[in-house]
Amino acid sequence: MSQMELVDLDSLVSSTPPYRQFHAYLPDATEALADVSHLRGAEGYGVERLFRGLLVQFMEDLSDRELARYLEENLAAKWRCGFTLSEPTPDYSLFTRVRTRIGPTRLSQLFAPMRAHLKAAGLMSEVVTVVDATHLIAQATLWEERDKARQQKIEQLNNEVLPKGAGDKQARIGGKGKKKYGYG
């Protein structure tokens, strides 16, 4: 025996997910995206809902395929984008076309006010990750390998002879600039 119950998506979505908190800060992008609304495939969804999908994609760090699946399976994401519980969600290729059509400059312009509001409300902080490529000398086994090369009567340690005596057969001597050389 099957039961039928009438529910709306709003009542199924918890009051605590970030989408509810962010809802008040999201821009109305309908006017800014008017020229994208006639994109093939977008007619049934509306550009505003597709833009909201791109916001969810950004928030959750999803690929286009992952976003399409996420919208199918996640009730809070469906609610955030304005889809109903039983409504089909867009195919991943539509998000690719919409993002391309909007362009990175306009997306950045649309995201900027929202980011500013979220930061002011304390709901978002920007994290900067710096990757340092400073040259470091790791000599863990270099001296042992030099000694092995000497025992084998190898006069000069270079990339041609190193694999013969090296513990790590893929390790090479490399250079950074004209005076900095390293092994790794």
| Same domain (yes/no): 92, 153 | no
The answer to whether residues 154 and 164 touch, using CB atoms and an 8 Å cutoff, is: yes
Judged by phi (left if over 0) then psi (alpha if -120 to 50, else beta), residue 175 lies in beta
- Burial (CB count within 10 angstroms: exposed 0-12, middle 13-18, buried 19+), residue 52: buried
Residue 107, in any domain of the structure: yes
Whole-prediction pTM value?
Answer: 0.59
For residue 40, give the 3-state DSSP assignment: coil
Q: Quick check: 146 pLDDT over 90?
A: no
Q: For 71-88, write each residue's pLDDT tens digit.
A: 999 988 888 888 888 889
Range of the domain at 148: 142-183
Count of the separate structural domains present in the chain = 2
Q: How confident is the model at residue 169 (pLDDT cuts 50, 70, 90)?
A: low
Q: What is the mean pLDDT of residues 165-175?
A: 68
Q: What is the pLDDT of residue 142?
A: 64
